[in-house]
Amino acid sequence: MSYRAMKTRRKLRGTSLSEGDQSVSSTPSNGSPEFCVANFPTEGASLLARSFGVGRPTEDEVEELRLSDWFNPRKRPDVVTTTDWLAPVIWEGTFNRQVLEEYYGRQNLTIGLAVLATGRIADQYLELFIQSASKHFMTGYRVIFYIMVDAFYRLPNLEPGPLQTVQVLDIRGHDADDFHLMRMKNLAVHIVGHIQDEVDFLFSMMANRVFQNDFGVETLGTSVAQLHAWWYFKNTENLPYERRPGSAACIPLGQGDFYYDGTVIGGTPLEILNFIKEYLDGIMRDKENGLNSTYERHLNKYFFIHKPTKLLSPEYSWDTVLWPPAQVWLVKAARCLERAF
């Protein structure tokens, strides 16, 4: 039995996996996808339960994996390993990969990795992105690479590894002035159209990165946020949140916890769809008020309100411009700027 089939009838420490997820309708009268959003659960116990990314077993399923079975925050006293809302922060040394592999190996999982690559980004980065992801992203599990391109001739020679498949998706419409808007609009269309039925977990990433070490199942969760390498080690008072009160992305002065990297987002397909819906709504509200905030600031406002159930340390999205400090033990993936090649 697949994980997707099981999760429709599992209980997650008293909370159904469908609770807080978005209900989706893909057959509106005009024939285009639409989606509606339900409220996320905000109770601490529910958030802690969701951080496991798994559910309570039935008699024919394996025993539920507890956070304490695989996560040991005391091994990294030099960094923040647990948030105020009890979500784990994944650093090298905090997790037991063997326990995770034994558990998830019995779940019959499929994980998706979506990337939008257009123009110069596709020409410069896409081939190396796919080559390195084939080697390091969720090795040993079924993976579907969703590659969204504006021109098929830009596709490099793709050679997926064992258990890996590639779907090349065309881009519908072009928001040339806003890459992230185009990225999220197209991802939403494909989640509603087919991705939600094909994968258990989904990551969306920018193509200008290289996987350097295993990016494994320790990263799986219902709602996964990436800590920003540039800002994690900075004074929290100086984090570049949107502070204008009229913006939908505004986090008031004196508030905020972490600053998240907009180049990576993960979770279940419907959780990602929830974020996209609120992001698009926020853009529309800002336009009505004559404002224009960035995608990353909207993402940070979303995670400020809807706390992620798992956070990835900067090791999972390091920036090649920065020299890794002592807290960064092992870079899993690195963001590569043009000047860094």
Compute φ and ψ for 162, nearest 5 degrees.
Answer: -60, 140
> Quick one: pLDDT at residue 315?
97
d(CA 324, CA 229): 9
- Write the pLDDT tens digit of every residue in 156-184: 888 888 899 999 998 876 655 678 898 89
> Quick one: pLDDT at residue 155?
84
- Write the pLDDT tens digit of every residue in 87-104: 999 999 999 999 999 999
Between residues 341 and 117, which one has the greater pLDDT? 117
Mode of pairing for the β-strands spanning 310-312 and 223-227: parallel
Query: What is the Cα gyration radius of the chain?
Result: 19
pLDDT at residue 145 above 60? yes
> Quick one: pLDDT at residue 326?
94
pLDDT at residue 133 above 70? yes
Amino acid at 151: A
For residue 52, count CB atoms less than 10 angstroms from its CB and return exposed for 0-12, middle for 13-18, buried for 19 or more: buried
d(CA 303, CA 279): 11
- Write the pLDDT tens digit of every residue in 248-278: 999 999 899 999 999 999 999 999 999 999 9
> Quick one: pLDDT at residue 64?
85
Between residues 28 and 224, which one has the greater pLDDT? 224
Catalytic member of 101, 296, 315, 338: 296
DSSP 187-245: HHHHHHHTGGGT-SEEEEEESSEEE-S-B-GGG--SEEEEE-TTTTTS-GGG---B--T
> Quick one: pLDDT at residue 202?
98
- Write the pLDDT tens digit of every residue in 31-78: 333 333 333 333 344 444 444 444 434 444 557 899 999 999 999 999
**What does pLDDT average to over the chain?**
82
Q: Does pTM surpass 0.85? A: no
Altogether, the residues listed in the chain come to a count of 341
- The H or E element containing residue 44 is helix 44-50
Q: How is residue 241 written in tokens? A: 């949140």
The sign of the torsion formed by the CA atoms of 275, 277, 278, 283 equals: positive
Compute φ and ψ for 242, nearest 5 degrees.
Answer: -70, 120
C-alpha distances (whole Å) from 13 to each of 17, 51, 198, 337 are: 10, 11, 25, 43
Mean pLDDT of 125-137: 94
pLDDT at residue 24 above 70? no
d(CA 310, CA 275): 15
> Quick one: pLDDT at residue 173?
65
Q: How is residue 205 written in tokens? A: 């990433």
pLDDT at residue 116 above 70? yes
Is residue 296 part of the annotated active site? The answer reads yes
Between residues 138 and 152, which one has the greater pLDDT? 138
> Quick one: pLDDT at residue 238?
83
- Write the pLDDT tens digit of every residue in 282-329: 999 999 999 999 999 999 999 999 999 999 999 999 998 889 999 999
- Write the pLDDT tens digit of every residue in 178-220: 788 988 999 999 999 999 999 999 999 999 999 999 999 999 9
Mode of pairing for the β-strands spanning 209-211 and 333-335: antiparallel
